[in-house]
Structure formats: C-alpha cells, structure tokens
C-alpha cells in the first residue's frame, strides 16, 4: 500500500495543492489506510520539526537575509552598471550584461527567484527600451537566473549536503566551474543569435558623473589591492615549489623558504603599482563604476575564502555574510536606513519559512519512502536497464530533467537524493560529482516549461505570457542541457576545484583520476 505514496503525491500536486501540504498529506493518508494510525499525527509532526532542526540548515536563512540586505541596499544597480561597463560593447550588449549580472548576483543571493525578480525589474525594461523584444528579454533573464543556485552560495546545495551528509564546502567549490560554463555558454548563444535576430548594436555604457563617498573610495582602494595581492600570492604559492622557493616535507606539506607574510606585503606593493599603471588607461567614470562594485563583490570572496582557509564553516560563513552586508549597506555605501531593516527581516523570514517548511515536510515524506522499500525497488529496476554507468547517467539525467519540469529543486533533492545517490555511488560515481549533476539538472528545471518557477516570476516582472517566454527560452535551455551532459561525462569540470582545495578527502597518495572517480563501492 505504501508504494502508492508517489502517485498520490503527484495527483495532489496536479490538482493544485501546495507542495508542502502534498508532501504531508500523501504519507498521512496512506498510513491511515494501512491501519497503523498510532501516533501518526505526532510522528509526522516530529519528523517535520526534526527536518528543520539542523545546524547546517541555519545557513539558508542567513544567506537569504544577506541577499535581501544587498538587494535593498542598492547593490543590484551597482552590479548592472559594472556589467554594462565591461560587456556593453559586445553585440547584443544588454543581453550579455544580463548574464554577467546574474553571475555576479549569484555570489550574493544563491537564489534563482531572487535573481529573476531583482535583475528582471531593472534589465527587462532597459532591454525593451534598447530595442530588444520583451519576450527575448524575459527569456534571457529567466535562463541566466538558474546560475544563482549553481555558483556559491547555493541554497539547494545546502539542502543536498544536509540530506546526504556531504560537505557543503565541497559542493560550493564544485559548483564554481559549472556555473561559469552556463554563463559563458549563454553568452555564446546570444552572440550566435545576434545577427540572425538583429540584436541591437554594441555600445559601451558608462554612466557619467559618477559620485562616490570618501569612505567607499578608500575601502574600495584597500580591498582591490588586497584582492590583487591575494591573487598574486596564490600564483606564487602554486609555483614556489617548481622554482625552488619552497620544498615538500615528508608529511606532504609545503614549506616556504621565505616568510609568507613578507612575500604578501611585497606582492601588495606590486599590486598597487600594477593598478596604478592600469589607472591611466581608463576613464574616471569607468574607474568609479569599478570602485562602486568592489565592496559588494567581496561577499563571495569572504564566503569562499574563509571556508577554504578554514577560518569558519559554511554555516558560520552565512552569518559573516549577513554581518558584512549590514556593514557595507549601513556604513560604507550608506544606502540603507534603520527603518528599512524591519521590512528586510520580514521578507527574508517569509522566504526562509517557506523553504524550511518544504524541507521539514520532505523529511517526513522521506520517512515513508524508506518504509515503502521504494529505494530498493527503484535501484533494482535502474540496474536492470543496463550495467553501463554511462548509459545509466544519461537515463538519470533525462529523469531529473522531467522531474525538474514539475517539481521545485528543494523537494526533488530531498525525495530523490536518498534514492538515487547510493545507486550511482556504488557504480563508481563520486558523491560530490553526483550531487552537482543532480543540483544543476534540477536547477535548470526551474526555467523549464511547463511549471518552471522562474518562468512565472519572469512573466510577472515583464508582463509577458508564460507560453511566449517558454518558446523564446528554448535555445538557452539547449545550452544549459549541453553543460549538464558535459559535467556528467567529464568529472574533472566540477571536481578539479574541490580536489585542488583538498575537500574531497583524498590523501596525497591518491591520484586525481582515482579521487574524482573512485572504484565501485568506495566513497
């Protein structure tokens, strides 16, 4: 009888019942029909509460709050101006600006819906005014918004890590290259479409008479030199052993011949002269636009840098991100007032409560999944289709793509992750690799007709019909599907960064290929 929980769940979704109630109603009804109604309501409530009562999940409300503070503090406009200054000269400039803005905004919010809403309200009218059709502007906004949950921080990766017991940091790092690939692929498609659809000609857009406070000027001045100096230090650290400036001891640790802090100070000086040399080649307004974007763009650097160095965990990083967002918005940019904080907290609390209720309900739903033996039955069925992992990965991508058309990424991960993850780990797919395959696939589903959530958000923002946007988005979906298959069959795309950062748990004696594609049965 319990095997009917999934058909019943789908029926409840199709008749319009909200997902959270469908997740709770289907196991409740079937357990009652089984006659095992002892403490049914108490059991479901307990699972619902336990599903939300988790320390790793605290990162979700903090990241949402940080994104909301940044958005309210006028960060969106600064990112758009920064993107226009860099990408506006390309053919189809504003479409490229839209994509680059989504990539930058992804490092602040980690939400596709927030991306579509915040950037769409700014860029869709601007693109239409510049000569783009409204359906094209809405389609490229929806298509690029799926980058939000791929480039860290990512809400759905936090959920996956919580459900499957994986490292949040490793998933964050594994999402960097796939997210950049999606953005680059969309830009290539825009360029291919530019001549055919007569997209507006290139025009570099640099807002004139830029104004910046002294505090923001000097904060940006210092941060930019620290960033460039840190990049030079990373290059030095990577090359030091090869040029004889460092040695590898018996424990496998790198020992530098020179004091690393002295090297960093020297590189800071070098960074200053590099930037001063570049300063004379660009206009004053261009430099001011770049300076105004420096402080907001430190958010992903702080998050990933702190995690990589080991200063804080991903959950602690989310709290640091909120503190930094408040510091920047109130004291550096001075774009928020104390009276704005109440509305920001309310909006982020409502958004967080909706996500956490879904997570809690899905955990209760997962309990029924385990009781029904559905994982074992599905596992036997999948393995009976083929013994070739490559064919099975192709089939599972098709399944995830179809699921993503109808179900939001969070509930889909919680329901299908515990079923599908162990199957492919036993077939030799690294757990982090499968996590990225699943996360990216279901994220693209947010922009896939007929039920893609960001399509409806883009429709609301633009005033265009969902059907019209769905037709215009198809070329961009083709690019995103291609990226999904590339990261599926070339593990190095997503696994190289976490491997180099040491987050895959492989010892120095384990080679790269063995680490990212372990033998069957080895995690």
Asked whether 314 and 63 are in contact (CB, 8 A), the reply is: no
- Is the peptide bond prior to 153 cis by the omega test (within 30 degrees of 0)? yes
Name beta bridge partners: 247.
Answer: 255
Global pTM?
0.81
Tally of CA atoms within 13 A in the half-sphere of 341 that contains its CB: 9
The per-residue pLDDT for range 304-318, each reduced to its tens digit, is 888 777 788 888 888
Lowest mean pLDDT across 120-124, 142-146, 264-268 = 120-124
Average per-residue pLDDT in the chain? 80
3-state secondary structure of 256: strand
pLDDT of residue 175: 92
Question: What is the rounded CA–CA span in Å between residue 178 and residue 187?
Answer: 14
Question: What is the rounded CA–CA span in Å between residue 425 and residue 517?
Answer: 10
Burial class of residue 134 (count of CB atoms within 10 Å of its CB; 0-12, 13-18, 19+): middle
What would the mean pLDDT of 257-262 be, rounded to a whole number?
Answer: 83
Q: Which two tokens stand for residue 341?
A: 């904080």
Domain limits, the chain: 219-278
pLDDT of residue 521: 44
Name beta bridge partners: 254.
Answer: 248
The per-residue pLDDT for range 421-433, each reduced to its tens digit, is 888 888 888 899 9
Q: With bands split at pLDDT 50, 70 and 90, how would you rate the model's confidence at 4?
A: low
Q: With bands split at pLDDT 50, 70 and 90, how would you rate the model's confidence at 480?
A: very high
Q: With bands split at pLDDT 50, 70 and 90, how would you rate the model's confidence at 1?
A: very low
Q: Three-state secondary structure along 173-237?
A: HHCHHHHHHHHHHHHHHHHHHHHHCCCCCCCCCCCCCCCCCHHHHHHHHHHHHHHHHHHHHHHHH
Question: What is the rounded CA–CA span in Å between residue 8 and residue 14?
Answer: 10
The torsion angles phi and psi of 212, rounded to 5 degrees, stand at: -150, 140
Question: What is the rounded CA–CA span in Å between residue 132 and residue 293?
Answer: 26
Task: Pick 59 or 109 by higher pLDDT.
Answer: 59
The per-residue pLDDT for range 269-282, each reduced to its tens digit, is 999 998 888 877 77
The per-residue pLDDT for range 394-404, each reduced to its tens digit, is 988 888 888 88
Question: What is the rounded CA–CA span in Å between residue 343 and residue 250?
Answer: 56
What would the mean pLDDT of 487-493 be, rounded to a whole number?
Answer: 91
Asked whether 175 and 152 are in contact (CB, 8 A), the reply is: yes
Question: What percentage of the chain reaches a pLDDT higher than 90?
Answer: 12
3-state secondary structure of 262: helix
Residue 2 above 60 pLDDT? Answer: no
Q: Which two tokens stand for residue 77?
A: 């406009």
Give the residue among 174, 159, 101 at the shortest CA–CA distance from 352: 159
Question: What is the rounded CA–CA span in Å between residue 429 and residue 450?
Answer: 31
- Is the peptide bond prior to 450 cis by the omega test (within 30 degrees of 0)? yes
Number of helices (H) and strands (E) in the chain: give both, helices first. 25, 2
CA distances to 7, 355, 386, 476 from 395, rounded to whole Å, are: 21, 29, 10, 22
Tally of CA atoms within 13 A in the half-sphere of 11 that contains its CB: 7
Question: What percentage of the chain reaches a pLDDT higher than 70?
Answer: 86
């Amino acid at each position: 009888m319990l095997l009917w929980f999934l058909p019943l769940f789908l029926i409840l979704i199709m008749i319009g019942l909200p997902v959270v109630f469908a997740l709770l109603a289907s196991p409740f009804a079937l357990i009652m029909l089984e006659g095992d109604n002892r403490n049914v309501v108490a059991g479901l409530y307990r699972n619902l509460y336990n599903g939300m009562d988790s320390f790793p999940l605290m990162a979700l409300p903090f990241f949402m709050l940080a994104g909301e503070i940044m958005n309210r503090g006028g960060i969106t406009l600064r990112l758009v101006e920064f993107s226009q200054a860099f990408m506006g000269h390309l053919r189809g400039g504003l479409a490229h600006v839209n994509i680059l803005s989504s990539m930058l905004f992804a490092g602040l919010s980690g939400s596709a819906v927030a991306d579509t809403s915040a950037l769409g309200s700014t860029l869709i009218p601007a693109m239409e005014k510049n000569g783009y059709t409204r359906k094209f502007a809405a389609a490229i906004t929806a298509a690029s918004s799926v980058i939000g949950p791929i480039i860290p921080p990512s809400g759905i990766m936090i959920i996956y890590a919580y459900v499957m017991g994986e490292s949040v940091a490793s998933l964050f790092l594994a999402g960097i290259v796939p997210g950049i690939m999606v953005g680059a692929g969309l830009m290539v498609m825009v360029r291919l479409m530019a001549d055919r659809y007569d997209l507006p000609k290139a025009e570099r857009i640099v807002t004139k008479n830029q104004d910046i406070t002294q505090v923001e000027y000097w904060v940006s001045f210092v941060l930019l030199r620290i960033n460039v100096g840190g990049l030079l230090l990373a290059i030095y650290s990577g090359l030091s052993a090869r040029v004889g400036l460092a040695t590898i001891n018996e424990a496998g640790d790198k020992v530098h011949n020179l004091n690393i802090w002295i090297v960093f100070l020297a590189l800071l000086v070098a960074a200053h002269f590099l930037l001063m040399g570049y300063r004379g080649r660009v206009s004053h307004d261009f430099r001011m636009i770049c300076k105004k974007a420096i402080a907001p763009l430190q958010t992903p650097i702080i998050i990933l840098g702190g995690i990589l160095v080991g200063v804080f965990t991903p959950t602690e990083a989310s709290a640091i991100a909120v503190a930094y967002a408040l510091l920047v918005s109130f004291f550096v940019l001075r774009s928020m007032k104390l009276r704005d904080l109440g509305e920001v907290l309310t909006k982020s609390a409502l958004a967080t409560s909706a996500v956490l209720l879904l997570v809690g309900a899905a955990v209760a739903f997962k309990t029924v999944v385990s009781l029904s033996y559905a994982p074992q039955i599905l596992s036997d069925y999948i393995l009976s289709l083929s013994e070739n992992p490559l064919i099975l990965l192709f089939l599972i991508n098709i399944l995830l793509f179809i699921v993503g058309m109808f179900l939001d990424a969070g509930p889909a991960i919680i329901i299908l992750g515990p079923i599908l993850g162990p199957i492919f780990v036993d077939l030799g797919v690294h757990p982090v690799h499968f996590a990225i395959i699943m996360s990216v696939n279901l994220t693209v589903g947010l922009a896939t007709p007929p039920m893609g959530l960001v399509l409806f958000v883009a429709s609301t923002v633009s005033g265009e019909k969902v059907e019209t946007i769905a037709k215009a988005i198809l070329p961009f979906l083709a690019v995103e599907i291609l990226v999904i298959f590339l990261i599926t069959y070339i593990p190095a795309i997503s696994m190289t960064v976490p491997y180099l950062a040491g987050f895959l748990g492989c010892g120095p004696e384990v080679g790269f290929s063995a680490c990212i594609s372990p033998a069957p049965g080895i995690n």
